Structure formats: structure tokens, C-alpha cells
């Protein structure tokens, strides 16, 4: 791939990421949420109670970030944390009734954001986007850095 194409591709991905996060922040603010907190709520709604370390892994976040999010969501009454019965060092995180109600609102906002994001695209393109983005995410997450001359480190 030539540099101009690579630059256009990287710039498009960067701008989409920044703008999507900013738009999500705008939509979530009236609910008292910051970006990332909605993902935690949605994950708990999908899976049920989880050990905080598992939640960290599921969200792809560092444990201290999840700890901070859970503390804030607990203080606002949307989740509850309690020691795991089998391992007192582990913490189980679960939604409260307030958290379940908030998650329903988040789902509505998430649908609206997705629809806004793909406005004007043909349905067949929209259907392909999740798979394409997953492939891109997997590629970035599994590749080792390349040497500037095309050799992998250590080769």
C-alpha cells in the first residue's frame, strides 16, 4: 500500500473513532454517564453479575479503569459490588434496578448512535460493517510491530 492510501485509511479510522466517542459522550452526558461506563452496564445486562477481573477482560480495559468506573457507578446507585463467596479478594459486580433502567435508556441511545453513524449507507454495506471492523480490530490487536524495512522484530 502506498503512503497516501495508508495515510487516508489511518486518518479515516482515527477521525471516526474520535467523532464517535465525542458523539457518544454528548448522548450519554444527560444520563450522567461517561464513555466506557455504558459498555460496562451493557456487559452486565448481557451476562449478569461478573467478577470484576472478568469484566475488565470482557471490556478490554485495564483493571484500574474498571475499578474507577465501578466505584462511580456504585456511588450513583447503578451497580452493586460485593465480595465473591469463593474468593474474598474478588469482587462481584451486578446491576441494581436503577442500573437496569439506565441500561434500557443506554440501549435506546446506542441504537440512535448506530443509525446516525450509518445514515445514507446501503443496507448490505451496513450489514458488513461489524465484521469488517472486527477484522480490523483483530488485526491491530494481534500483530507485532514491524521493523520500518518490513522485517518483524527479532528477525
pLDDT at 141: 79
pLDDT at 79: 97
What's the angle, vertex CA 52, arms to CA 75 and CA 89, rounded to 5?
A: 100
Q: Whole-prediction pTM value?
A: 0.81
The yes-or-no verdict on residue 153 having pLDDT over 90 is no
> E strand or H helix at 18, and its extent?
helix 3-28
pLDDT digits (tens, 9 = 90+) for 11-59: 999 999 999 999 999 999 999 999 999 999 999 999 999 999 999 999 9
> Which cell goes with 10?
489511518
CATH number of 3-142: 1.10.10.10
Percent of the chain at pLDDT > 90 equals 79
Q: What Å distances lie between residue 128 and 2, 121, 122, 136, CA to CA?
A: 25, 11, 10, 13
Cα 68 from Cα 59, distance rounded (Å): 14
Amino acid at each position: 500500500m502506498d503512503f497516501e492510501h495508508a495515510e487516508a485509511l489511518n486518518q479515516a479510522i482515527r477521525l471516526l473513532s474520535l467523532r464517535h466517542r465525542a458523539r457518544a459522550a454528548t448522548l450519554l452526558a444527560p444520563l450522567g454517564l461517561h464513555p466506557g461506563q455504558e459498555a460496562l452496564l451493557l456487559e452486565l445486562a448481557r451476562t449478569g453479575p461478573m467478577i470484576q477481573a472478568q469484566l475488565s477482560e470482557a471490556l478490554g480495559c485495564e483493571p484500574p479503569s474498571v475499578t474507577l468506573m465501578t466505584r462511580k457507578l456504585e456511588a450513583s446507585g447503578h451497580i452493586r459490588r460485593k465480595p465473591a463467596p469463593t474468593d474474598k479478594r474478588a469482587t462481584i459486580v451486578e446491576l441494581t434496578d436503577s442500573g437496569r433502567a439506565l441500561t434500557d435508556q443506554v440501549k435506546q441511545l446506542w441504537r440512535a448512535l448506530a443509525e446516525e453513524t450509518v445514515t445514507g449507507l446501503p443496507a448490505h454495506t451496513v450489514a458488513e460493517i461489524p465484521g469488517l471492523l472486527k477484522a480490523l480490530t483483530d488485526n491491530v490487536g494481534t500483530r507485532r510491530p514491524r521493523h520500518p524495512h518490513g522485517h518483524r522484530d527479532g528477525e
